[in-house]
Structure 1
Amino acid sequence: MESCLLIRLPDQTVGISENTEVSWRYISAEDDVPPVKGNELLVHLSGHLSELTKTKKEGCKVVVFLPDTMVSHQQISVTKSQIRHLDRALPYLVEEDKADDIADLHLASVEQYGEGLLTVAAITHSQMRDLLEVLHDVDLSPDHIVPESQLIPSSNESISLYFSSDQAWAAMPGRPVISVGCETLELVIVDWLKEASLRNEEGESLAIKIYNVSGDLPVTPSLLSISAQLEQAGWSVQNTDLEIEATDFLIGSYKSRSAEVLDLLTGPYFPEGRKRTLASRWKPYLLMLFLVYVAHIGIMSLGGFVYGTKAGDFWQKSAAYYLGVFPNDKQVVRASESSWGGVNIRSRLESRLKAPDQGADTLPLVELLHQVSSTIGGLSEPGLKTIGFDYNRVSGRLTMEMRSDALAGMNKFLSSLKEEGFNARMESADKIEEEVRARVVITI
């Protein structure tokens, strides 16, 4: 494990400079070395870090916590398709909810697995560039930049309120964590929770858990006032003193959840050093993958003759099915008599079935025949076979001439079509010698 320097910018920060005073903690890679903490101007912090790490051989990871005054948050519902194409879809998913021009914002997101929700953080490019420029000027290259609200635990069973000496965080089920001043929250808390109307599965109001993270400082009067207000309003309130400072509380949460929290160093701000580290880490695996690929090519080459024979058999079967419907296609007849593969059966079939005014990518009849064929194949009825068909493109009606060993098999086929959602009916049925022939009409 490498050493870690965690820097927390003060609340209400909208900009940053070398003279910004920050809270920091240095955690050594050695378990027996206690953490070092302090408050320092950024311009002096790099010197302290050099002193702390000068006798250590390992590197030091730099993590920066940003207040909500610099970052905005929201949660949006997403589909699996949107997740797969998130880089392109994300700006359009959040554009309506942002007052700023979407092109001026840097967006980062993290998925809440199993819940279909995406937490999105937004910061202006100008703020992000200014932040990185100041950090680099004081010889601090951040490895991760994390919004503070991402580190506040939330629960589906309760509403959680965390109070430091001058700041409060509110975490409600299914909503992004918000950060406000303690006095502001004191004025709006009761009306705000009534409007939110959060209830559990039994329809009861959720319990409220209030945590004090002021450390050795006196409990903020706002916490006591809010607790009393909520109890008078009929809420179930539980008060807990965590006996820890807000900065240490956030660091503890980061250490336990660092793999799942949102990181703003993505896209154009992804660190070059981390790219090189990832590349060097993956080199052995890439070499192994290349060797496996070469071996795979060799095996495929050795088995080429066997696969070629099977492909020839498959083509002959496809040609036989095709000629069963279009027996007068002389080009396919000649190809089947001489050698396999001389004609592309699929393209041939598509060109025959395609309507004159359809585009090259729309083949409704082919799709319909494929679904009907799948239905026939899934029945396992003896003797059930298509003799011929006629398709009326204008009316969208497909008429199929079928044969089967028994009428029951024909009825089962009709029932299966209806279960698949087709509008199907049997227009006629005749028994000829030992088989049943029927005309089935399917309307699209």
Structure 2
Amino acid sequence: MSRKLMVRVPPSEFQITPETKIQWACYEQGLTTHAVSTTLGNLKSSLDSQNASFDEHLILLSGRLVSHQYKQVSKAQIKHLDKALPFLMEDELTEEVSCFHFASAVPTEPLRSSVESGTYKNTGSSSSSPSPTSQYLAVSAIKHTDMKALLRYLDDQALSPDQVLAEAEIPIAHGSSINVLLDKDSALLSVSGEAGLSMDAAAVGFALAHLQNSQPELSKLPVILQYDPGQANDEYQANLLQKTIQNLGWMVETTPLPGSVLNYLSEQFSNTVITGFCNLRTGQYCDHSKKSTSGKWVKGFMAAAACWLLLEIGLMTGNGLLFSSRAQQYWHQSAALYLEAFPKDQLIHNAVKRNPGSVDIQNRLKSRLNNTRADAKTASFLQWLSIISQQAQGAGLISPNSLSFNRQSQTLSMDFKANSLAQVEQFQVALKSKGFHGKLENAHQEPGGVIAQLTVGELP
């Protein structure tokens, strides 16, 4: 279980300075140490003198410094709470709302039930139950000057509070009773486990008289009056207040606290079931240096992922540079080999000098080879044509009608007219003597002679 440092600024203090009197105690495993009194400016030295260390720091402020109210708000106001909140508290404050810092929370059980049923009257509005489009909201307000001063003096001592709360939020009554917690000239008034009302001790009688008139059914509840016997005159003040309350017709039970008011509030705070406290250490006064464990885990993971990503990018960039360098090297080697075969290719010469890698050597070589084959085939066709023409003339009256040369099969198809079929056979023999074979594909007799189709190719 965590060790909590509970620091209280009592109602006797009206402003925050290094000389402001405070009390501190340690709460751990259901036990609170004896309260130590010191000043705000000497808090760190007081803690060091006790060799005290803590996991959480919590500050409790009295009603002298923090105003705490309950307000009925609409769903529309909830959506724009940051802007609506100051105007909700405007009637409760004695100065301009711009001078205050606000914190809010939705009250949790059992406080919500008592507020909505109309038992709790510190709403600053009508005590009727909220409509289906509204709800109750707990609101705390503190002057910016006080909040800044508090955090500044703590920061000067390397202390940073996790929560800054109004002590009036802490329920000090349990069950069916009205509880009055006396602290010198101030008091906290609470009804049936609700949050307390902070007021002067002299105003308790007037508050109970008003409660009798507005909610007479509460007059049957007993009043529990508690005080700190360790403080001078508190017992005397408690006896005077007891008589005042009894004269109003209330049953009063006066009991001393087993420890200080801070000890009592610390135990009540740690044992309460209410979680909807208004932490003033929020908004512009949030401590961004303190991060949750989950946040640290996520940020650690993100940092590791970022390092991995940077490493991966670095490796990819390095590989890219390496491959680029090798590609340039291989291109120059390919270009040198290509120019050995085709030394007059000016395109490759220009690429080597001005823009290496701009020409695809492989495609260039394929193009060159295809052109070379085409030139060779063209030369063989012309050679064939010369030989076949000579043999056609030697065979007599042979008149070619059409010629078709197939480069892939290296054959020549020719349609011609001869005087007779014997003349066609004579032409085949003449071709064979020159190293060609002539395959007769078709031949038919016509009145003027023979029309024949011959396929000519080189002999194997």
- Pairwise TM-score range, normalised by the shorter structure: 0.5 to 0.7
Give the AA of the match of 1:65: L
Question: Is 2:218 the partner of 1:220?
Answer: no
Aligned to 2:307: none
- Cα 1:199/1:148, change in 2 over 3 Å: same
**Within 5 A, what are the aligned runs for 1:216-255?**
216-217=230-231, 220-255=235-270
- Cα 1:134/1:250, change in 2 over 3 Å: same
Aligned to 2:101: 106
Any idea what the Cα deviations from partners look like across 1:88-114, whole Å, max 9, x if unmatched? 332232234433222221011121235
Question: Larger relative CO (CA 8 A, sep 6+): 1 or 2?
Answer: 2
Task: Give how far 1:185 is off.
Answer: 3.0
Larger Rg, first or second structure (1 or 2): 2
Rounded Cα–Cα distance in structure 2 between residues aligned with 1:23 and 1:39:
4
**Within 5 A, what are the aligned runs for 1:63-74?**
63-74=58-69
User: Does the residue aligned with 1:228 lie in a helix, a strand or coil?
Assistant: helix
Runs of 5+ consecutive residues of structure 1 not aligned to the other structure: 288-444
Question: Is 2:203 the partner of 1:185?
Answer: yes
Rounded Cα–Cα distance in structure 2 between residues aligned with 1:3 and 1:176:
24
Aligned to 2:221: 207
Task: Give how far 1:160 is off.
Answer: 2.2
Rounded Cα–Cα distance in structure 2 between residues aligned with 1:199 and 1:156:
18
Question: Is 2:22 the partner of 1:6?
Answer: no
**Within 5 A, what are the aligned runs for 1:36-47?**
37-47=35-45
Rounded Cα–Cα distance in structure 1 between residues aligned with 2:248 and 2:222:
12
User: Does the residue aligned with 1:273 lie in a helix, a strand or coil?
Assistant: coil
TM-score, structure 1 length as denominator?
Answer: 0.54
Rounded Cα–Cα distance in structure 2 between residues aligned with 1:157 and 1:144:
30
Rounded Cα–Cα distance in structure 1 between residues aligned with 2:295 and 2:59:
24
Rounded Cα–Cα distance in structure 2 between residues aligned with 1:149 and 1:170:
9
Task: Give how far 1:6 is off.
Answer: 1.5
CA contact (8 A) 1:213 1:249 kept: no
Q: Which moved more, 1:236-245 or 1:117-126?
A: 236-245
User: Does the residue aligned with 1:132 lie in a helix, a strand or coil?
Assistant: helix
Rounded Cα–Cα distance in structure 2 between residues aligned with 1:225 and 1:250:
23
Aligned to 1:95: 90
Question: Is 2:156 the partner of 1:137?
Answer: yes
Aligned to 2:271: 256
Any idea what the Cα deviations from partners look like across 1:150-197, whole Å, max 9, x if unmatched? 123356844321123443111247986322333x236645644445x2
Rounded Cα–Cα distance in structure 2 between residues aligned with 1:84 and 1:285:
34
Any idea what the Cα deviations from partners look like across 1:318-338, whole Å, max 9, x if unmatched? xxxxxxxxxxxxxxxxxxxxx
Rounded Cα–Cα distance in structure 2 between residues aligned with 1:33 and 1:262:
24
Task: Give how far 1:245 is off.
Answer: 1.6
Question: Is 2:139 the partner of 1:120?
Answer: yes
Aligned to 1:434: none
Aligned to 1:49: 47
Aligned to 1:23: 23
Rounded Cα–Cα distance in structure 2 between residues aligned with 1:165 and 1:206:
27
CA contact (8 A) 1:72 1:121 kept: yes
Task: Give how far 1:234 is off.
Answer: 2.3
Rounded Cα–Cα distance in structure 1 between residues aligned with 2:176 and 2:31:
38
Rounded Cα–Cα distance in structure 2 between residues aligned with 1:221 and 1:36:
23
Rounded Cα–Cα distance in structure 2 between residues aligned with 1:254 and 1:32:
11
Task: Give how far 1:248 is off.
Answer: 0.4
- Cα 1:74/1:27, change in 2 over 3 Å: closer
Task: Give how far 1:84 is off.
Answer: 4.4
Task: Give how far 1:286 is off.
Answer: 9.9
- Cα 1:186/1:270, change in 2 over 3 Å: closer
Rounded Cα–Cα distance in structure 1 between residues aligned with 2:260 and 2:31:
20
Give the AA of the match of 1:121: S
Task: Give how far 1:277 is off.
Answer: 5.0
Aligned to 1:304: none
Rounded Cα–Cα distance in structure 2 between residues aligned with 1:267 and 1:173:
32
**Within 5 A, what are the aligned runs for 1:212-361?**
212-217=226-231, 220-257=235-272, 259-275=275-291, 277=293, 279-280=295-296
Task: Give how far 1:125 is off.
Answer: 1.1
Aligned to 1:198: 215
Give the AA of the match of 1:103: S
Give the AA of the match of 1:210: I
TM-score, structure 2 length as denominator?
Answer: 0.52
User: Does the residue aligned with 1:8 lie in a helix, a strand or coil?
Assistant: strand
Rounded Cα–Cα distance in structure 1 between residues aligned with 2:8 and 2:30:
24
Give the AA of the match of 1:249: Y
Rounded Cα–Cα distance in structure 2 between residues aligned with 1:186 and 1:85:
37
Question: Is 2:73 the partner of 1:78?
Answer: yes
User: Does the residue aligned with 2:250 lie in a helix, a strand or coil?
Assistant: coil
Rounded Cα–Cα distance in structure 2 between residues aligned with 1:286 and 1:80:
37
Rounded Cα–Cα distance in structure 2 between residues aligned with 1:34 and 1:170:
23
Give the AA of the match of 2:9: L
| Cα RMSD (Å) | 3.5
- Cα 1:285/1:208, change in 2 over 3 Å: farther
CA contact (8 A) 2:6 2:26 kept: yes
